[in-house]
Amino acid sequence: MLFLSHAKTQRREGVFPFFASLRLCVSILLASLLLSATALAESRFPPPDFESGYQLPSAATPPPRAALLQYLDVAVLIAALGVALWLVYRSRSRRGIAALSLFSLAYFGFYRKGCVCAIGSVQNVALALFDPHYALPLTVLVFFLAPLIVALFAGRAFCAAVCPQGAIQDLVLIRPVKVPSWLEAALGLIPYLFLGAGVIFAATGSGFMICRFDPLVPFFRFSGSAFMLTLGAAFLLVGLFVGRPYCRFMCPYGALLRLATAAAKWRVRVTPDTCTQCALCQHSCPFGAMREPTGGAQKQEPLRIARRRLAGLLLLLPVLVGLGAWGGSKLAIAGGYAELGGWLFGGWTGLVIGGKWIALSVRRNRTDFEPDSGACFACARCFEYCPSERMRRGLIPLEPANKE
């Protein structure tokens, strides 16, 4: 290319400096090409010795985010979890939860740009368990463990008001519609499958699927691929009518928290007083998390049948796992990790379907309306609708007012 321009510029007038410097450069270039075999690290054009006292500038190297600020993230996380627990269990204030949501959205969402987040931390932990060369940052470990331990004792306080993804969806929810229970149960399998896929991809070092397909993070960053921005917009549009679609039907960390809440010591209660069974709380819940009373032993099927079905399903579970593993290994592209991954993911799918089946058919005994700890995001909306709770707070008088 340079030789072409050389020939061309010879015909022109008034470009003498260019021509001269070009000839110089080309000759040095040719010389350096001849020399390059012997001296690889030599400069083609030796750095000049300046006579005018010119000082070499140095390249700026802006440092990464300071470690101190990362510990600030951890402190904010733990403080926000504490405040969320206090708001749900002591103050029982929906307004407080909404305010904390706004704060979390501003801090973890728009200021921290959705990174570091508990949802993605699952993959870092999985990678650290299987790859001895990977060093897990301490902050990521805390982001993974703190919400999980809280969920083991007191439910999904993290989802209520600390997670920015949950907060942005909670704030756009304007006209909730009820998702049919069959659809809710079917779509509710996706988070577990996504969790399994994310862990397998991370553990085998193949990638970070959960981060890559997080549809709300592009909003926090105000940038992203067209596909992810469209997906995020779709989630927010659906979220106007279906409460928290990502949390309920996609979030893998939510699936983990849901499992943890099965062992929760304290559960969110609509009212600490007596339930009048008015079903207002059930209607007020945008996430379909309220479970109605089972209505005594006479209304339910005989215990004998329920026991027999449970035994059958428990026996079916290993069969489903085996079938899934076999199918997964057949579907996976043969060889290496893909085969192992397909085998594992298939087995996990079988386990998830079997587990859901068992959970759906176990006989429950509920005398009152109560939230399902696994599905409840502790958003505190139902508290304001419960007449017993309003009476307890003195918002409506204990005795009917006598005007005469």
Among positions 114-143, residues that touch another protein (CB under 8 A) are 115, 120, 123-125, 128-129, 132, 134-139, 141
DSSP string across 142-186: HHHHHHHHHHHHH--HHHHHT-HHHHHHHHH--S--PPPHHHHHH
Q: Residue type for 73, please?
A: D
Q: Which is nearer to another protein, 152 or 238 (CB)?
A: 152
Smallest gap from Cβ 89 to another protein, in A, equals 17
Q: Which is nearer to another protein, 158 or 385 (CB)?
A: 158
Q: Which of residues 4-43 bind another protein (CB under 8 A)?
A: 4-5, 8, 15, 17-18, 21-22, 24-25, 29, 32, 36, 40-43
The Cα–Cα gap between 251 and 214 comes to 9
DSSP string across 291-321: E----HHHHSPPHHHHHHHHHHHHHHHHHHH
Smallest gap from Cβ 114 to another protein, in A, equals 9
388 belongs to the binding site for another protein (CB under 8 A) = no
Smallest gap from Cβ 49 to another protein, in A, equals 10
The Cα–Cα gap between 31 and 211 comes to 51
Asked if residues 382 and 371 have their Cβ atoms less than 8 Å apart, the reply is yes
Residue from the set 2, 68, 334, 401 that interacts with another protein by CB under 8 A: 2
Residue from the set 224, 252, 342, 371 that interacts with another protein by CB under 8 A: 224
Smallest gap from Cβ 383 to another protein, in A, equals 23
Stretch that binds another protein, among 77-85, 185-193, 205-213, 238-246 (CB under 8 A): 205-213
297 belongs to the binding site for another protein (CB under 8 A) = no
Q: Which of residues 152-171 bind another protein (CB under 8 A)?
A: 152-153
Q: Residue type for 330, please?
A: K
Q: For the chain, how many residues are written? A: 404
Residue from the set 27, 30, 31, 45 that interacts with another protein by CB under 8 A: 45
Q: Which is nearer to another protein, 187 or 317 (CB)?
A: 317
58 belongs to the binding site for another protein (CB under 8 A) = yes
Q: Which of residues 253-292 bind another protein (CB under 8 A)?
A: 260, 262-265
Cα angle, residue 390 at apex, residues 388 and 392 outer, rounded to 5°:
70
CA-nearest of 374, 385, 366, 365 to 271 is 385
The Cα–Cα gap between 160 and 158 comes to 5
Is the dihedral angle over the CA atoms 128, 134, 138, 143 positive or is it negative? negative
Q: Which is nearer to another protein, 221 or 308 (CB)?
A: 221
Q: Which of residues 70-109 bind another protein (CB under 8 A)?
A: 70
Q: Which is nearer to another protein, 65 or 393 (CB)?
A: 65
Other beta carbons within 10 Å of 53? 5
